[in-house]
Amino acid sequence: MKTIKGPALFLAQFASDEAPFNSWDSITKWAADCGYEGVQVPSWDARLIDLDKAADSKTYCDEWKGQAAENGVAVTELATHLQGQLVAVHPAYDAGFDGFAHPSVHGDPKARQEWAVDQMFKSITASRNLGIGAHATFSGALAWPYMYPWPQRPAGLVEQAFDELARRWRPILDHAEDNGVDICYEIHPGEDLHDGVTFEMFLERVNNHARAKMLYDPSHYVLQCLDYLDNIDIYAERIGMFHVKDAEFNPTGRQGVYGGYQPWVNRAGRFRSLGDGQVDFGAVFSKMAALDFDGWAVVEWECCLKHPEDGAREGAAFVRDHIIRVTDRAFDDFADGGADEAANRAMLGLDR
């Protein structure tokens, strides 16, 4: 068995224009001071990384990664949630998602999608230059507006959406294969890959591509009323990344999964800081250890109540307390009397 690495922190929710969150040097020092051993980096945030340089220069990557190491943290993965989202956007969301892209492609869906694919290629190449073998992203969504349809969906609509989604992602996955990088899709509402069934639909269309993996985050399954522990057993071989995030779901006679258009604090389903929600992380970490997951346990802090800096510091301690240092021997080895084939045959009564 293998011991999970960590704790690590996804920096997307913390990067800002205020110190110490406004530069690579200061935010990595802050993360180490909070108790983290690694950081997952949003590749879209120019305050933290120059993606063009990272894709073009291994020297830049070595120096950038080295600065983090000097400050006490490793770089666990790059993330392209915003760019991955733009690989496939339904027109209903054009205005909302334009802000994820470079201003030069705003208002031009075709140019925006081409920009997003280029960003994905650069991030994969940068991961290779950094010596990192896994990458976090979103799938984007073409079919999401029809998730709970009225009127009913026309026959073939979802199938065509997934055919197109696979067509767009296949060259990216092939580039990932060429560079030795797994693409870990965060299974997330709002994405066409939002549960196990939709992941399987996509996987079938990319011919079970070896680089198509899952980013496992139990919080998104709690809010869907999906069995997050059974999910680990089902997809053990495809789980390439792990976000440690908590959530709670408290339905009432007035509100359920869909949330009634309420702000986060008033929803039946809410993200919470680690330990404040309903995820059984003792069981999650036990399953991950038993299944030999040897990636990073990455805290993704999101909470509708707690201050982020408090959540970050508490999260580091929480993960450290839950990581299981796996055993290198069986607990009953002390009673091993030794055996060979002859002894085994005798115990089974085969030579009588």
Residues 105-118 have a mean pLDDT of 98
pLDDT beyond 90 at 25: yes
Residue with tokens 């020092």: 29
Q: Which residue type does 168 have?
A: R
Q: What is the pLDDT of residues 306-351, one digit of tens each?
A: 999 999 999 999 999 999 998 777 666 656 767 788 888 888 899 8
Stretch (H or E) spanning 243: strand 239-244
Helices (H), 4-108: 24-34, 51-56, 58-71, 81-85, 94-97
pLDDT beyond 90 at 304: yes
Residues 143-155 have a mean pLDDT of 95
119 token code pair: 């960003």
Please provide the average confidence, as pLDDT, over all residues in the chain: 96
Residues 209-235 have a mean pLDDT of 98
Contact 45, 80 (CB under 8 A): no
In percent, the amount of the chain with pLDDT more than 70 equals 98
pLDDT level of residue 151 (50, 70, 90 thresholds) = very high
State the pLDDT at residue 106: 97
State the pLDDT at residue 334: 59
Residue with tokens 């770089």: 75
**Backbone region of residue 6 per phi and psi (left: phi > 0; alpha: psi in -120 to 50; beta: other values):** left
pLDDT beyond 70 at 274: yes
pLDDT beyond 80 at 240: yes
State the pLDDT at residue 78: 98
Exposure string over 28-61, b if 16+ CB within 10 A, otherwise e: bbbbbebbbbbbbbbbbbeebbebebbbeeeebb
For residue 275, give the nearest of 219, 210, 349 by alpha carbon. Answer: 219
pTM: 0.95
State the pLDDT at residue 333: 64
294 token code pair: 């040897």
Contact 144, 191 (CB under 8 A): yes
State the pLDDT at residue 346: 83
State the pLDDT at residue 215: 98
pLDDT beyond 70 at 137: yes
Domains and CATH numbers, the chain: 5-348 (3.20.20.150)
pLDDT level of residue 268 (50, 70, 90 thresholds) = very high
The number of residues in the chain equals: 352
Q: CA 104, CA 132: separation in Å to the nearest integer?
A: 30
State the pLDDT at residue 332: 64
Contact 15, 304 (CB under 8 A): no
State the pLDDT at residue 338: 72
pLDDT beyond 80 at 252: yes
